[in-house]
């Protein structure tokens, strides 16, 4: 597989994005706070909003394309309230197994952070990663994120409780090399 093209998703990509993310929720239920059934029931308008529209949208998504196929995605959502509008959350990171280990995930996170740095007043991007997902946590650390806490019993998958590692990056900090 060659290096995927990374670009901001457009409303026209919403169907491919939905398909990819439903695959992610089904394959890795321990990684996402949403279930495949919950998200499959959402109308297409929800997916179009998640993709975002316009440069100053409160939400945006970025995709990795191998030709016409969407093989990875990451999204962000900015906090809407005035006192927390300086923060956004990285959400829904997923790269198909065949596209992993070649820098696709890092390129997606970097595209999201470049976009975030261009948003007026935005200073912080936060995320959570399921405790034990060392590969994802290392990826985020390579992109400049630091752990600031662990939320025990953050999520329940079946009879198992999963802790979430909380991470953040300051968009004003120097970029990692």
Domain extent, residue 95, equals 5-170
Summarised one tens digit per residue, pLDDT across range 25-56 is: 999 999 999 999 999 999 999 898 888 766 66
Count of domains forming the chain? 1
- 114: domain CATH number is 3.40.630.30
Tokens of 39: 């998200």
For residue 92, what are its two tokens? 């829904």
> Would residue 146 count as lying in a domain?
yes
Asked if residue 176 is part of any domain, the answer here is no
Contact 93, 115 (CB under 8 A): no
DSSP secondary structure string for all residues of the chain: -PPPEEEE--GGGHHHHHHHHHHHHHH-TTT-SS-HHHHHTS-HHHHHHHH--STT-SEEEEEEEETTEEEEEEEEEE--SGGGTTEEEEEEEEE-GGGTTSSHHHHHHHHHHHHHHTSTT--EEEEEEETT-HHHHHHHHHTT-EEEEEEEEEEEETTEEEEEEEEEEETTSPPP-
CA Rg value for the chain: 15
Instruction: Note the pTM of the prediction, 2 decimals.
Output: 0.93
**Least confident residue range of 28-42, 45-59, 75-89, 161-175:** 45-59
Q: Please write the tens of the pLDDT for every residue from 127-149.
A: 999 999 999 999 999 999 999 99
The verdict on residue 110 lying in a domain is yes
Has residue 175 been placed in a domain? no
């Amino acid at each position: 597989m060659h290096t995927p093209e990374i670009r901001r998703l457009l409303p026209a990509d919403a169907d491919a994005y939905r398909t990819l993310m439903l695959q992610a929720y089904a394959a890795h239920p321990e990684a996402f706070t949403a279930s495949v059934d919950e998200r499959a029931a959402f109308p297409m308008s929800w997916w179009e909003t998640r993709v975002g529209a316009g440069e100053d949208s409160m939400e945006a998504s970025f995709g990795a394309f191998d030709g016409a196929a969407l093989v990875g995605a990451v999204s962000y959502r900015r906090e809407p309230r005035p006192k927390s509008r300086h923060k956004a959350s990285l959400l829904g990171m997923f790269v198909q197994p065949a596209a992993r280990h070649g820098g696709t995930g890092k390129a997606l996170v970097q595209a999201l952070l470049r976009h975030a740095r261009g948003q007026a007043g935005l200073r912080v991007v936060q995320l959570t990663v399921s405790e034990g997902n060392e590969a994802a946590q290392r990826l985020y650390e390579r992109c400049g994120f630091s752990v600031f806490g662990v939320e025990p019993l953050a999520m329940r998958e079946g009879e198992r409780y999963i802790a979430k590692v909380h991470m953040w990056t300051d968009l004003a900090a120097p970029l990692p090399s």
